[in-house]
Amino acid sequence: MRMSIRKPAATGLKALYDLEAYLNDSPVPRTTLDLLRLRVSQINGCSFCVDMHAREARQTGVSDQRLHALAAWRDTPFFSDDERAALALAEAATRISDGSGGVPDEVWDAAADHYDEGQLAALVMTIAAINAWNRINITLRNTPA
């Protein structure tokens, strides 16, 4: 670990923790949020967050089978249509620098077919928040304990 930002960035970290609490109380199922956090962390290669969110997903009832299959979610029968739409949105929003021009309309439209505006807002905020956490932990070289 390069440094701890708990003291020098205490106010900023509190804001992120408050955002997480807000999102966990959103109308999106907690298991869906946990799957998104884990999948985005896998994409970004954040070992700290992969470890944390795999454990949290287990605690909220995500089976080991689904956890093991998450990286290949498109090719397995273990995820609902709602979860698939959310995972596709998370992947597209996380990979915005891959030259895709942002989130494709068909990905957004599929998510909008499964979630209302309040839920979509929670999904977008969850994706943004975990990307922020990934970048913080990767930059500081935080590793699982």
CATH number at residue 92: 1.20.1290.10
Q: What is the pLDDT of residue 1?
A: 78
For residues 42-66, give the mean pLDDT: 97
Tell me the pLDDT band of 5, cut-offs 50, 70 and 90.
confident
One-letter amino acid of 141: R
Give helix 117-139 / helix 105-114 axis angle, nearest 10°. Answer: 120
Question: By residue range, what is the domain housing residue 96?
Answer: 30-139
CB 34 within 8 A of CB 57: yes
Give 97-104's long-range contacts (Cβ < 8 A, gap of 24+): none
Tell me the pLDDT band of 97, cut-offs 50, 70 and 90.
confident
| Residue 7 lies inside a defined structural domain of this protein | no
Report which of 96, 117, 130, 118 is spatially closest to residue 20, judged by C-alpha positions: 130
Predicted confidence (pLDDT) per residue in 107-144, tens digit: 999 999 999 999 999 999 999 999 999 999 999 999 99
For residues 75-96, give the mean pLDDT: 97
| Residue 9 lies inside a defined structural domain of this protein | no
CB 31 within 8 A of CB 57: yes
Q: 5-9, 36-40, 54-58: which range is least confident on average?
A: 5-9
Chain-centroid distance, C-alpha 38? 6
| Residue 19 lies inside a defined structural domain of this protein | no
| Residue 18 lies inside a defined structural domain of this protein | no
**Residue given tokens 């994409």 in the structure block:** 43
Report which of 12, 38, 34 is spatially closest to residue 23, judged by C-alpha positions: 34
| Residue 14 lies inside a defined structural domain of this protein | no
**Residue given tokens 């739409």 in the structure block:** 85
Structure-token pair, residue 79: 């995820």
| Residue 15 lies inside a defined structural domain of this protein | no
Q: What is the DSSP letter of 8?
A: T
| Residue 12 lies inside a defined structural domain of this protein | no
Q: Is the pLDDT of residue 100 over 80?
A: no
**Residue given tokens 């923790």 in the structure block:** 17
**Residue given tokens 């605690």 in the structure block:** 59
Per the structure, the count of domains in the chain is: 1
Q: Is the pLDDT of residue 105 over 80?
A: yes
| Residue 46 lies inside a defined structural domain of this protein | yes
